């Protein structure tokens, strides 16, 4: 896996998905549906999932993709895969509490090795760099060029 490419792609997709999510979040009203498991889903979940899925499939066509919003993908098995929760915290989103994130991870042999967590309402972006270090990016986010970062500490399980 080209980790430089992976980080560029997942970072950009998380930011783009965040824009779609915030457009819905800031709208006067939006519909909330119920999934088969009785959890809520909104047009923001679906729009973010469609954008991220299309981007990941285009960039990494040979890697299995599992996403929360595509139930059929939950039965897929692979040692290496991408996993996506396009809007983690839909209940908080619906309540307009601002506590929700875009999550994308690359997993090898059951271990997440690279990933991004973007909290668009909070303006916070965390990701794993190509070298494996975990960082928070600060300042205004450019979708193509990463800005200033500072390392964050992580614990291992």
Q: Is 85 among the annotated ligand-binding positions?
A: yes
How far apart are the C-alpha atoms of 41 and 30, rounded to whole Å?
11
**Calpha distance 82→69 (Å, rounded):** 14
How far is 146 from 148, CA to CA, in rounded Å?
A: 7
Q: Is 29 annotated as a binding residue?
A: no
Q: How far apart are CA 36 and CA 43, in angstroms?
A: 16
Would you state the structure tokens that stand for residue 59, as one six-digit string?
């960039």
Closest CA to 138 of 127, 122, 150: 150
Whether residue 142 is annotated as binding a ligand: the answer is no
* Contact in structure between 49 and 121 (CB atoms under 8 Å): no
Q: Choose among 62, 73, 66: nearest CA to 52.
A: 66
125 annotated among ligand-binding-site residues: no
* Nearest alpha carbon to residue 125 among 102, 92, 109, 106: 102
Binding residues for Mg(2+): 68, 85, 87-88
Q: Which residues are annotated as a binding site?
A: 68, 85, 87-88
């Amino acid at each position: 896996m080209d980790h430089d490419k992976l980080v560029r792609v997942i970072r950009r997709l998380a930011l783009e998905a965040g824009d779609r999510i915030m457009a819905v979040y800031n709208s006067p009203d939006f519909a909330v549906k119920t999934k088969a498991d009785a959890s809520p889903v909104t047009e923001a979940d679906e729009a973010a999932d469609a954008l991220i899925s299309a981007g990941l499939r285009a960039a990494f066509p040979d890697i299995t993709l599992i996403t929360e919003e595509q139930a059929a993908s939950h039965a897929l098995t692979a040692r290496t895969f991408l996993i996506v929760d396009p809007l983690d915290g839909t209940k908080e989103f619906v309540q307009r509490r601002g506590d929700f994130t875009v999550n994308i991870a690359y997993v090898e042999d059951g271990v997440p090795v690279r990933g991004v967590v973007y909290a668009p309402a909070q303006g916070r972006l965390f990701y794993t760099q190509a070298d494996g270090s975990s960082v928070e990016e600060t300042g205004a986010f450019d979708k193509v060029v990463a800005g200033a970062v500072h390392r964050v500490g992580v614990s291992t399980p």
